[in-house]
Amino acid sequence: MTAVGQQSSSGGMSIGTVLDRLRPDFPDVTISKIRFLEAEGLISPERTASGYRRFSIQDCERLKYVLTAQRDHYLPLKVIKEQLDALDEGATVNPVDGSATRGPRRGPRALALAPTVSAVSAVSPSEFLGERRVRMSRADLLERAGVDEPFLLDLQKAGLLTPGPAGFYDEDAVVLVRTAAAMAQYGLEVRHLRAFKLAADREATLLAQVAGPVALGRDAGARDRAEELVRELAALSLTLHTSLVKAAVRGVLD
């Protein structure tokens, strides 16, 4: 078998064909995302004499590895590239500490994702993808969340819940309303939840300050890089917030 990073010298697929192969498992992947991963050195498709990219089966497997690592295990691109380089050199990646041991070279079928301690976040960045495909009406939301109209209106007046431009809601809205209703059973009124909204807005503003300059870059992958950065930072910030609340609650009880 060929090494992970080696390319087939015969045939090859267009970038559109690769996109069609990836989308069943990764519906949010785009051509610009694939080009961005190429620019970052994660894949190296061949080029025809006229300059068109030709992707091999190995390239597709490599892309699946990268996308799975980002979606399910919160691995930064640098860590993913180190893992792939180790596999290319015939090493086996230890799923516990990320160390590599030498061994026979592994083909594309051996590209099984190994979780590593570099994944410090308990939340996947995929949770922060911008597009949510489920669209439901206000009536559907009320039924799904199990609340009445006045409670929903209170959430919207307090700024905790905002419908989309066409007046529809998504799955995140269901989770938010259900959570707010559950907290209300413990005596926390909607007005008390404003503190959580203000904290979230401050965190979002901080993330925008970090990612904004990246998005303004002139290279083709600037937008993808900024979106990736926001998702990773958002996942980390939520994990940090959870850890801080746990520590504070322990202090209150003590």
- pLDDT bucket at 237, cuts 50 / 70 / 90: confident
Q: Are 126 and 231 in contact (CB under 8 A)?
A: yes
Question: Which of 190-194's residues contact partners 24+ apart within 8 Å by CB, and which partners?
Answer: 190/151, 190/154, 190/155, 190/158, 190/160, 191/158, 193/158, 193/160, 194/158, 194/159, 194/160
More confident of the two residues 52 and 106: 52
How many angstroms separate the most distant Cα atoms in the chain?
71
Q: Pick the range with the lowest mean pLDDT from 33-42, 74-83, 90-99.
A: 90-99
Any residues with CB less than 8 A from the CB of 136 and at least 6 apart, and which?
A: 144, 168, 169, 170, 173, 174
Question: Which of 134-143's residues contact partners 24+ apart within 8 Å by CB, and which partners?
Answer: 134/170, 134/171, 135/164, 135/166, 135/168, 135/169, 135/170, 136/168, 136/169, 136/170, 136/173, 136/174, 137/167, 137/168, 137/169, 138/163, 138/167, 138/169, 140/169, 141/169, 141/173, 141/174, 141/177
Does pLDDT of 3 surpass 90? no
Judge if pTM exceeds 0.85: no
Question: Average model confidence (pLDDT) for the chain?
Answer: 78
Please, which residues bridge with residue 123 across strands?
none
Question: What is d(CA 131, CA 29) in angstroms, rounded to the nearest whole number?
Answer: 12
- pLDDT bucket at 135, cuts 50 / 70 / 90: confident
Residue with tokens 């600037």: 222
Query: pLDDT tens-digit profile of 148-195?
Result: 999 999 999 999 999 988 889 988 899 899 999 999 988 999 999 999
Question: What is d(CA 214, CA 211) in angstroms, rounded to the nearest whole number?
Answer: 5
Question: What pLDDT is attached to residue 127?
Answer: 57
Rg of the chain in Å (alpha carbons) = 22
* Mean of pLDDT values over 111-118: 44
Burial of 209 (0-12, 13-18, 19+ CB in 10 A): exposed
Question: What pLDDT is attached to residue 139?
Answer: 94
Question: What is d(CA 197, CA 185) in angstroms, rounded to the nearest whole number?
Answer: 19
- What the chain holds in terms of domains, given with CATH numbers, is 15-118 (1.10.1660.10), 138-253 (no CATH)
Any residues with CB less than 8 A from the CB of 124 and at least 6 apart, and which?
A: 71, 72, 73, 74, 235
Question: What pLDDT is attached to residue 117?
Answer: 33
Question: What is d(CA 7, CA 4) in angstroms, rounded to the nearest whole number?
Answer: 8
